[in-house]
Structure 1
Amino acid sequence: MEFNDNSRHLRSTEDITEALKSAGVKEVSLHNVSQVLYYLPNEEANQDCRLLELDDQLLEMVEKGESFTFQGRVDETAVLCTKNRTYEVREAETSNSLLLVPDFKFSSQSNINDSSRILEHKDVKGIFYKYYEIRECKPQLPKLLTLLDPSSFKGQEYESSIDSAALFDWDKLRNEIQASEAELLQALDDYLIININGYFRLISFECEARSVTLMLDLLDENSWEVDEVDREITYDALKNLIIKPVLDTLFKKYAEVSEKKKDDGSPLYKYNEIKTCKLLAKVLLAASPVTEYKQFMESWHIGTPDKMTPKDEYLSGIALVIWNKKLSRKEVISYPETSLPRDITARFHALFKVKSKWTVQEITPYIINLTTSKMNVQALLTKYARCSMSNGVKLYSSKYDN
């Protein structure tokens, strides 16, 4: 290799032949194209180029002409997003120098049917000791709640107090959230985010609880069973109290098609017991984050529609049932998954601090959002927790406690 400047020495075919002889290499054993690499001065080298390692799936997407985007603010770690996946981007070092040489010929391209030696001069546009590797990760969707909470929809009567500058349209939201388009669209449903006049608004918990309570009240008013909900009557009765985007979203979440039908053959609906009971439990927990177990269950039963039965497992992901040693009583404490750290190690530390041992069923709601296609719940528990057996039941505890 040579340093490429205005006075550089350009190697000749004779130089190549002489070098091969000195190395004891027979020229007939080589392809007849020799490429001589020249370093460019630093000011001419490509300083803006970076190397990115892609797996076979992503490489195939590039070859098909599909596009990726890098997303992240200056104070955030960049991620790479395809149409439906998000990848963490990490800098890695290599023990070898990697050279960027445009139009460099590989072995299959350097054997020309010609008896004479062909000499080609190539400029090295860059030398790299680091590259970027990618690993599929969870999209940074919880940030949606932080961004949209200040402008959340609480009801028509509160709209005059909303600052228009705090609203997010699609383009603004895409620029802020590190997630693929498909993942972001799914999150809009999962987090109860609606579109009002072109802006995405989070339905506040107060609005959700108030609206669902009004929907449930119609069961008694119309003497409906929980699986005899008439959608048309519900919409007509609540159209002046709940705006349609909110009612559409909440009905989709809490109601599902029933086995029963109306006289004209159109479907009736039923309210999902688990989702309905969970919401009503969250209302109680918001008013009293720590409640004696029996008292909590009594209040929960009173507020739940007939034919629905609140159960401990419905508290999954929002509250814990624990034994208070100091007061010698069983309690229900508010413990929402959304309040836990996003960092995996920090999350497990928080979980084992509030409760020393967990079953798989108990802990799953608190770590399921940290899983990836290559790291499921069981893999996370194997890596970050210690397993033990008690009366034939697997329990998981801190890996670092004695």
Structure 2
Amino acid sequence: MSRSREEVEATLQIAKLSVEDLRSTAQCLTFSETFASGEYSLMELDDALCKEIETGGSLVIRGDKGDHAVLCSQNKTYDLKFADTSNLLLFLPDGKTADLLPDDELPLSIAPCEISGFSNYYWELRRCRPKMKKLKKLLLENPYEGPENEQDTSASVYTTEDLLNQIQASYEELMDHLKVIHACNIKGFWRLLDFDYEMKLLNHITQLMDSESWSFSRVPLTVCLEELRSLEPEQMIEHCLECFGKRFSEEEEASFALDEDKICRTTAQMLLQNAVKFNLSEFQEVWQQSVPEGMTSRLDQLKGLALVDRTSRPETIFLLKTEDLPEDTQERFNTLFSMREKWTEADISPYIQDLCGEKQTIVALLTKYARTSLQNGVKVYNSRRPVS
């Protein structure tokens, strides 16, 4: 039932409020005939997400049944956090904020306003890292081993849309990570190259460079494709150059400058993947002999890929890839501290760098999840909780 102006003024008098101090329009709330609870959910958006929707963009909730749901914009991923509120939140389709109400002279006017629903909670968004662990697992179901090995047409392959439906990441984050792991789009499907096949492609390129006496800073694309097209598809050769180099144009001719660190790092992975542990000095000698002539191998190229054990005699090195560690921060630290009780900051940093959120530093992360102590005058970190 609607309220009269006299009833509103009487209520204001009981509340000891003066009509002159208020807007000249009072919105009187009543329940709608179609009122229903539980049919609406509220979500708190920041300015960037509001602008994305206002400009025609979209927000997508992603996750399988067993996943904690995330919300993705075009380029960011957010955790959906359930937030209770002690104040009942009312949905007023025709409600107006104070700045939208007319600032007329008295007398007081009455504007009916219907309540269509309510909620006592809302979804709070918190920026989080995209969850990429599943991506490589999916692509490794059917790695690409070259055109001569493409026989099983029933094997699992995934389009961009397929991956977006299964990976909890925004479109741009997914595309960036596909590039990081050297995935290639072949006939509309994303494929991860078999490691041995990728090394085969790289060897073709470096051997051609050696025979042609090319500099690593300038590998002409056209000539490279012409010389190697009889061995491998042009798309694969160009893809390999994209993975291990940087494209540039010189007199309208596309060329690539190969990245020494990336090539040395991949060569080290090839040597280490078939050994549990490798004598460090022997490894360094074999490694330098294995990289293309003119390149220099250095241990700092292996951050997040291999770990050196300085306490063993002789010193050893073994494969430990960041991508193989848990995505969850606490689980990551538990795994690292179960492998080694005490870590120096230099050793552990490459394995937790990707866990840092926006404006978060490695030192802040270590302060939260680890304790410090001195060992032979060197600061080391160990777990804050017992590790099984």
TM-score normalised by length of structure 1: 0.85
> In 1, distance between residues paired with 2:246 and 2:15?
79
Aligned pairs for 1:46-57 within 5 A? 47-57=38-48
Question: What is the SS of the residue equivalent to 1:133?
Answer: strand
Task: Tell whether the 8 Å contact from 1:32 to 1:117 is kept in structure 2 after alignment.
Answer: yes
> In 2, distance between residues paired with 1:340 and 1:203?
21
1:356 matched to 2:347: no
Task: Tell whether the 8 Å contact from 1:83 to 1:181 is kept in structure 2 after alignment.
Answer: yes
Q: Residue 30 of structure 2 aligns to which amino acid in structure 1? A: Y
Spell out, residue by residue over 1:63-85, the C-alpha distance to the aligned partner (whole angstroms, 9 max, x if none): 44433222223332222222221
Q: Residue 64 of structure 2 aligns to which amino acid in structure 1? A: R
Question: What is the SS of the residue equivalent to 1:151?
Answer: coil
Residue 269 of structure 1 deviates from its aligned partner by 5.2
Partner of 1:69: 60
Spell out, residue by residue over 1:26-77, the C-alpha distance to the aligned partner (whole angstroms, 9 max, x if none): 3333333222222357x73253321111223323434444332222233322
Task: Tell whether the 8 Å contact from 1:290 to 1:331 is kept in structure 2 after alignment.
Answer: yes
Task: Tell whether the 8 Å contact from 2:183 to 2:192 is kept in structure 1 after alignment.
Answer: yes
Sort the Cα spacing of 1:306 and 1:24 in 2 relative to 1 into closer, same or farther, 3 A: closer
Partner of 2:363: 378
> In 1, distance between residues paired with 2:159 and 2:195?
21
Partner of 2:299: 312
Partner of 1:189: 179
Partner of 2:228: 238
> In 2, distance between residues paired with 1:158 and 1:46?
58
Task: Tell whether the 8 Å contact from 2:371 to 2:384 is kept in structure 1 after alignment.
Answer: yes
Q: Residue 10 of structure 2 aligns to which amino acid in structure 1? A: E
Sort the Cα spacing of 1:174 and 1:297 in 2 relative to 1 into closer, same or farther, 3 A: same
Aligned-residue CA RMSD (Å)? 3.0
Question: What is the SS of the residue equivalent to 2:140?
Answer: helix
Residue 334 of structure 1 deviates from its aligned partner by 1.3
> In 2, distance between residues paired with 1:105 and 1:224?
71
Residue 279 of structure 1 deviates from its aligned partner by 0.8
Greater shift after overlay, 313-322 or 388-397? 388-397
Partner of 2:273: 286
Partner of 2:285: 298
Task: Tell whether the 8 Å contact from 1:81 to 1:87 is kept in structure 2 after alignment.
Answer: yes
Residue 11 of structure 1 deviates from its aligned partner by 2.8
Task: Tell whether the 8 Å contact from 2:83 to 2:124 is kept in structure 1 after alignment.
Answer: yes
Counterpart among 127, 133, 140 of residue 149 in structure 1: 140
Q: Residue 333 of structure 2 aligns to which amino acid in structure 1? A: F
Sort the Cα spacing of 1:179 and 1:221 in 2 relative to 1 into closer, same or farther, 3 A: same
Residue 283 of structure 1 deviates from its aligned partner by 0.9
Task: Tell whether the 8 Å contact from 2:222 to 2:254 is kept in structure 1 after alignment.
Answer: no
Sort the Cα spacing of 1:213 and 1:44 in 2 relative to 1 into closer, same or farther, 3 A: same
Counterpart among 162, 165, 168 of residue 178 in structure 1: 168
Sort the Cα spacing of 1:270 and 1:116 in 2 relative to 1 into closer, same or farther, 3 A: closer
Question: What is the SS of the residue equivalent to 1:329?
Answer: coil
> In 2, distance between residues paired with 1:64 and 1:197?
33
Q: Residue 68 of structure 2 aligns to which amino acid in structure 1? A: T
Sort the Cα spacing of 1:111 and 1:268 in 2 relative to 1 into closer, same or farther, 3 A: closer
Sort the Cα spacing of 1:115 and 1:315 in 2 relative to 1 into closer, same or farther, 3 A: closer
Residue 169 of structure 1 deviates from its aligned partner by 1.7
Partner of 1:161: 152
Q: Residue 356 of structure 1 aligns to which amino acid in structure 2? A: E
Partner of 1:4: none
Sort the Cα spacing of 1:51 and 1:310 in 2 relative to 1 into closer, same or farther, 3 A: same
Sort the Cα spacing of 1:271 and 1:106 in 2 relative to 1 into closer, same or farther, 3 A: closer
1:131 matched to 2:131: no
Q: Residue 201 of structure 2 aligns to which amino acid in structure 1? A: S
Sort the Cα spacing of 1:22 and 1:221 in 2 relative to 1 into closer, same or farther, 3 A: closer
> In 2, distance between residues paired with 1:322 and 1:21?
79
Question: What is the SS of the residue equivalent to 1:93?
Answer: strand
Q: Residue 265 of structure 2 aligns to which amino acid in structure 1? A: K
Spell out, residue by residue over 1:105-153, the C-alpha distance to the aligned partner (whole angstroms, 9 max, x if none): 2333345525333223322222221111111111223322112111221
Task: Tell whether the 8 Å contact from 2:35 to 2:115 is kept in structure 1 after alignment.
Answer: no
> In 2, distance between residues paired with 1:299 and 1:27?
88
Residue 162 of structure 1 deviates from its aligned partner by 4.1
Sort the Cα spacing of 1:303 and 1:162 in 2 relative to 1 into closer, same or farther, 3 A: farther
> In 1, distance between residues paired with 2:20 and 2:356?
56
Residue 336 of structure 1 deviates from its aligned partner by 0.8
Greater shift after overlay, 305-314 or 195-204? 305-314
Q: Residue 309 of structure 1 aligns to which amino acid in structure 2? A: T
> In 1, distance between residues paired with 2:212 and 2:111?
87
1:339 matched to 2:329: no
Residue 320 of structure 1 deviates from its aligned partner by 0.7
Partner of 1:5: none
Task: Tell whether the 8 Å contact from 1:70 to 1:81 is kept in structure 2 after alignment.
Answer: yes
Residue 341 of structure 1 deviates from its aligned partner by 0.2
Partner of 2:192: 202
Partner of 2:17: 25
Q: Residue 398 of structure 1 aligns to which amino acid in structure 2? A: S
Sort the Cα spacing of 1:391 and 1:308 in 2 relative to 1 into closer, same or farther, 3 A: farther
> In 2, distance between residues paired with 1:33 and 1:265?
69
Identity of aligned residues (%): 31
